[in-house]
């Protein structure tokens, strides 16, 4: 298994800006906050950073979806890097990490600053009602097939897949709702979370339907904020101040029709092949995983990842999450321990990596999972986009 390049890399520092429903500073300023915190956390200085990466790269369209790219941050921090990369044509948000692993393996860099910034809370108060469509403008590309049908948000596409999953699995709304309830319970213990007030299953069932069967409490929260991680070459990582968090295995795949309409299995999306690839690159098994930070753009994604990572049977999540005990902080597999994107804010899987490292370093305070967790499964995305990482404390 040592032949895989990710095994020669580790996360050595993490950082996160203030996360809010409307920031009092610019997106670039938030990004600088997260980046400087991550660099300092790793015990490095700006001069040590020789690579920089992000997903999906700068989209200067006012939507807040990705307002800051590599060039803006590199210049703000005056970094001298041997390699940089950003772009949306990658296996989900972790594509930036996978590219960095390749760059480190190629000898282009040793300490890569990877970040994700979102400014959607502010954007939605001003120009944008949603992130997919612009009024009066014709659409090109993959979303042009959906655009004429009042498909104003990813929520509608995911509701299509989620409805099929509910139809096939027979999961009940009160079971789905355990994802939201568990994450809100965890968020109450996370000072950076957006929503901390507890919710019950009854609250979940009373929350507005967005698009059947998707309810408001199934959705992540648009925010202003930035998260950053430092990925270092392993020999460098072992000289730094934190115990390295090894990238034990990655999963990225295009071994399916990469399409929002023609995916073979809409209800499992891209995830089975991504999970299969990740497990093929490690000797670890699902039973070895202590905690899981599973993508939760919508609660459906988290349910999907539980099944496709093999923590339970396909269509068996309804039993696994029923009652919410097994996924709780003191359960068999604590899930989305910081509140995830649904209660913590939409840092788009980088919040999940930040929380994974926080837990593996034993720094999670009141929400720290007991028993010294050492292995965390993390994942990104839904639809045809997906990526996974198994993180292991050295």
Partner 1 sequence: MVARTLPVIDRDNEAYWTWGREGKLAIYRCAACEYFVHPPVPFCPRCESRDVAPQAVSGRGRVVTFTVNHKAWVPDLAAPYVLALVAIAEQDDVRIPCNIVECDPETVDFNMDVEVVFEPVEDLWVPLFRPVTA
Q: Restricting to residues 318-357, name those near partner 1 by CB under 8 A.
A: none
Separation between Cα atoms, residue 88 and residue 357, nearest integer Å: 24
- Options 76, 105, 108, 133; binder of partner 1; rule CB under 8 A: 133
- Options 3, 24, 150, 283; binder of partner 1; rule CB under 8 A: 150
The smaller minimum CB distance to partner 1, of residues 279 and 298, is found at: 298
The smaller minimum CB distance to partner 1, of residues 98 and 161, is found at: 161
The smaller minimum CB distance to partner 1, of residues 48 and 203, is found at: 203
Separation between Cα atoms, residue 103 and residue 83, nearest integer Å: 7
Residue 139 has a CB neighbour count (10 Å cut-off) of: 15
160 binds partner 1 (CB under 8 A): yes
Which of these ranges, 112-120, 142-150, 172-180, 183-191, lies near partner 1 under the rule CB under 8 A? 142-150
- Options 126, 138, 197, 287; binder of partner 1; rule CB under 8 A: 138
Interface size with partner 1, residues (CB under 8 A):
40
Least separation in angstroms between CB 165 and partner 1:
9
DSSP code, position 293: E
Cis peptide preceding 222, ω within 30 of 0: no
Separation between Cα atoms, residue 321 and residue 316, nearest integer Å: 9
163 binds partner 1 (CB under 8 A): yes
Least separation in angstroms between CB 244 and partner 1:
43
Residue 76 has a CB neighbour count (10 Å cut-off) of: 14
Cα–Cα nearest to 356, from 344, 374, 370:
374
Separation between Cα atoms, residue 391 and residue 374, nearest integer Å: 8
Q: Are 228 and 34 in contact (CB under 8 A)?
A: yes
Least separation in angstroms between CB 144 and partner 1:
4
The set of residues, in sequence order, having a beta carbon less than 8 Å from that of 245 and lying 6+ positions away, is 10, 11, 12, 356, 357, 360, 361, 391, 392, 393, 394
- Options 137, 283, 287, 370; binder of partner 1; rule CB under 8 A: 137
Which of these ranges, 5-13, 176-184, 262-270, 364-372, lies near partner 1 under the rule CB under 8 A? 262-270
Separation between Cα atoms, residue 53 and residue 70, nearest integer Å: 6
Q: Are 178 and 324 in contact (CB under 8 A)?
A: yes
140 binds partner 1 (CB under 8 A): yes
Q: Which sign does the torsion angle of CA 96, 98, 102, 107 carry?
A: positive
Q: How far is CA 254 from the centre of its chain?
A: 19
DSSP string of 34-60, one letter each residue: HHHHHHHHTT--GGG--EEEESS----
61 binds partner 1 (CB under 8 A): no
1, 138, 188, 242, 393 from 376: Cα distances, Å = 18, 43, 21, 17, 9
Which of these ranges, 4-12, 44-52, 206-214, 321-329, lies near partner 1 under the rule CB under 8 A? 206-214
The smaller minimum CB distance to partner 1, of residues 2 and 208, is found at: 208
212 binds partner 1 (CB under 8 A): yes
146 binds partner 1 (CB under 8 A): yes
The smaller minimum CB distance to partner 1, of residues 81 and 147, is found at: 147
254 binds partner 1 (CB under 8 A): no
126 binds partner 1 (CB under 8 A): no
Least separation in angstroms between CB 155 and partner 1:
8
153 binds partner 1 (CB under 8 A): yes
Q: Restricting to residues 265-304, name those near partner 1 by CB under 8 A.
A: 266
- Options 49, 96, 147, 377; binder of partner 1; rule CB under 8 A: 147
Which of these ranges, 15-23, 75-83, 260-268, 310-318, lies near partner 1 under the rule CB under 8 A? 260-268
How large is the C-alpha radius of gyration of the chain? 19
Residues at the site binding partner 1, with contacts judged by CB under 8 A: 129-130, 133, 135-140, 144-153, 155-156, 159-164, 167, 208-214, 259, 261-262, 264, 266
């Amino acid at each position: 298994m040592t032949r895989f390049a990710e095994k020669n890399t580790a996360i050595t520092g993490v950082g996160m800006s203030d996360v809010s429903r409307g920031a009092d500073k610019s997106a670039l300023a938030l990004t600088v906050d997260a980046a400087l915190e991550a660099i300092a956390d790793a015990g490095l200085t700006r001069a040590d950073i020789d690579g920089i990466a992000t997903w999906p790269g700068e989209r200067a369209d006012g939507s807040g979806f990705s307002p800051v790219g590599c060039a803006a941050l590199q210049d703000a921090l005056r970094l001298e890097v041997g390699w940089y990369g950003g772009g949306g044509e990658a296996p989900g948000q972790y594509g930036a990490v996978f590219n960095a692993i390749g760059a480190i393996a190629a000898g282009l860099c040793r300490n890569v600053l990877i970040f994700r910034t979102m400014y959607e809370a502010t954007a939605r108060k001003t120009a944008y009602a949603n992130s997919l469509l612009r009024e009066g403008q014709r659409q090109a590309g993959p979303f042009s097939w959906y655009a004429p049908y009042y498909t104003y948000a990813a929520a509608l596409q995911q509701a299509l897949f989620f409805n099929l999953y509910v139809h096939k699995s027979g999961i009940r709304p009160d079971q789905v709702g355990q994802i939201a309830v568990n994450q809100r319970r965890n968020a109450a213990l996370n000072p950076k979370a957006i929503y901390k007030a507890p919710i019950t299953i009854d609250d979940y069932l009373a929350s507005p339907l967005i698009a059947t069967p998707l309810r408001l409490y199934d959705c992540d929260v648009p925010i202003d904020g930035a998260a950053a991680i430092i990925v270092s070459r392993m020999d460098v990582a072992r000289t730094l101040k934190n115990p390295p968090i090894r990238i034990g295995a990655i999963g990225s795949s295009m071994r399916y029709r990469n399409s929002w309409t023609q995916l073979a299995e809409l209800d499992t999306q891209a995830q089975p092949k991504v999970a299969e690839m990740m497990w093929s690159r490690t000797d670890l098994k699902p039973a070895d995983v202590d905690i899981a930070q599973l993508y939760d753009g919508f609660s459906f994604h988290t349910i999907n990842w539980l099944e496709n990572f093999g923590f339970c049977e396909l269509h068996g999540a309804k039993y696994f999450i029923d009652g919410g005990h097994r996924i709780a902080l003191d359960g068999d597999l604590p899930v989305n321990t910081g509140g995830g994107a649904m209660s913590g804010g939409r840092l788009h899987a980088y919040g999940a990596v930040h929380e994974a490292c926080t837990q593996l370093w034993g720094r999670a305070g009141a929400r720290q999972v007991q028993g010294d967790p050492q292995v965390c499964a993390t994942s990104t995305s839904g639809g045809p986009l997906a990526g996974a990482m198994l993180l292991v404390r050295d």
